[in-house]
Amino acid sequence: MAGISKDEVLHVARLARLELSEDEVARFQEQLSAILDAVSKVSELDLADVPPTAHPLEIENAWAEDEPRPCLSLDDVFANAPERDDDYFRMPPA
């Protein structure tokens, strides 16, 4: 694993909706390269016949009756809103 380029750092940050300063790009390029190099260790193993684990318990689907029950009031829902406009969250234009 050769590490991660500056362009790749910027690409990944864009995918993750993270704005990065110049300084952060340089720092993260170095740190992420070292981390990716270390975690690449998983590719040493031949595990083609081993199924993946997404979840450590063998559990079945959990079903619930589709019945209405009390929910948060609108005032509670908007209590932490950065900007409320009537019954909407107000956003900058898309």
Contacts to another protein by CB under 8 A: 4, 8-9, 12-13, 15-21, 24, 27-28, 31-32, 34-36, 38-45, 47, 50-57, 59, 62, 64, 72, 76-77, 79-83, 89, 91-94
Distance CA(1)–CA(34), nearest Å, equals 10
Residue 48 identity (one-letter amino acid): A
Cβ-based nearer residue to another protein, 2 or 62: 62
> How far from each other are the two terminal CA atoms of the chain, in whole angstroms?
38
Distance CA(69)–CA(92), nearest Å, equals 33
Cβ-based nearer residue to another protein, 2 or 59: 59
Rg (CA), the chain: 22
- Report the nearest approach of another protein to the CB of residue 15 (Å): 5
- Report the nearest approach of another protein to the CB of residue 22 (Å): 12
- Report the nearest approach of another protein to the CB of residue 2 (Å): 13
Distance CA(64)–CA(85), nearest Å, equals 34
